[in-house]
Structures are given as C-alpha cells and as structure tokens.
Amino acid sequence: MEALICYTIGMDNDLKRHVCINKGTEPPFSGQYLDHYEDGIYCCGMCNTSLFESSEKYDSGTGWPSFSNAISETIGTSMDDSLGMVRTEVHCKTCKAHLGHVFDDGPTHLRYCINSVALNFKPGN
Ligand SMILES: [Zn+2]
C-alpha cells in the first residue's frame, strides 16, 4: 500500500510507543485531535495508512477522538480481555500499530475510541 504524506504535530514519541506498540492508552482529554474538526483524513501515526475520514469524527464526551466509522479495509480488530473487560481492540492492518478500541454504543452503533497519538492528520477533502 502506498503511504500517504501526513502532518506530524508535536508527536510525543514515548507516548506513541506506549500506545501503538505496548497497546497503552493516552490520558483522556489530552490528545491533540480531541477538539480537532478540520476536513481531511486521519492516518496511522506509524505508517500513514488512511484510517478515518474527518466526516466520521464526533465528540463522544469520553476524552478521546471518536469516529462512527472507519475506512474499514485498513483497520483490523482483535479481542482484548485485559483490565478485566472484554473489548474489541483496533489496529492498523498495514503495520499492526494499536489505535484504540471500538464499542457498539455510538450514534451509528459503532464508536471508535482512538488515541490521538496513534494518528496523523492529513488536511484536504
Ligand atoms: Zn499503520
């Protein structure tokens, strides 16, 4: 897959490693894309594969960027039973970077709860 050139804004590499490689979670209400509503594509922070369209982004009130849909063929899922919960983990299919989790309580039945640090935003339509 051809990698897209995306913008990187002040990426914290330790936090990025914690989230994308160690499947951690950034602190809520801390991410650079939480209140970010420009038109464009949210790409993988590791390999720049296109993952989410800005039109699918909404404010879920959880403290993490949330999307009602993904560019499905670029997103993989797996079961995550850590922390005593059963959740669906989502990752980039291209590079396997952990992105966050998907829940079925969103406005269109899905809520992708994604770490800002796992994303790179590419402005445009
Ligand atoms: Zn990736």
Which residues touch 87 (CB under 8 Å, ≥6 apart)?
A: 79, 80, 81, 101, 103
Among residues 6, 44, 92, 113, the one annotated as catalytic is 113
Domain presence at residue 5: no
CA of 105 from ligand 1 middle (Å) equals: 25
- Beta bridge pairs of residue 119: 44
Q: Which domain holds residue 91?
A: 13-123
Domain presence at residue 6: no
Structural domain tally of the chain? 1
| Residue 113 falls in the annotated catalytic set | yes
Domain presence at residue 105: yes
pLDDT in tens, the chain (125 residues): 333 334 344 445 789 999 999 999 999 999 999 999 999 999 999 999 999 999 999 999 999 999 999 998 999 999 999 889 999 999 999 999 999 999 999 877 899 999 999 999 999 86
d(CA 57, CA 11): 20
CATH number (domain holding residue 61): 2.170.150.20
Three-state secondary structure call for residue 60: coil
CA of 94 from ligand 1 middle (Å) equals: 5
| Under 8 Å between Cβ of 104 and 90 | no
Domain presence at residue 1: no
Domain presence at residue 8: no
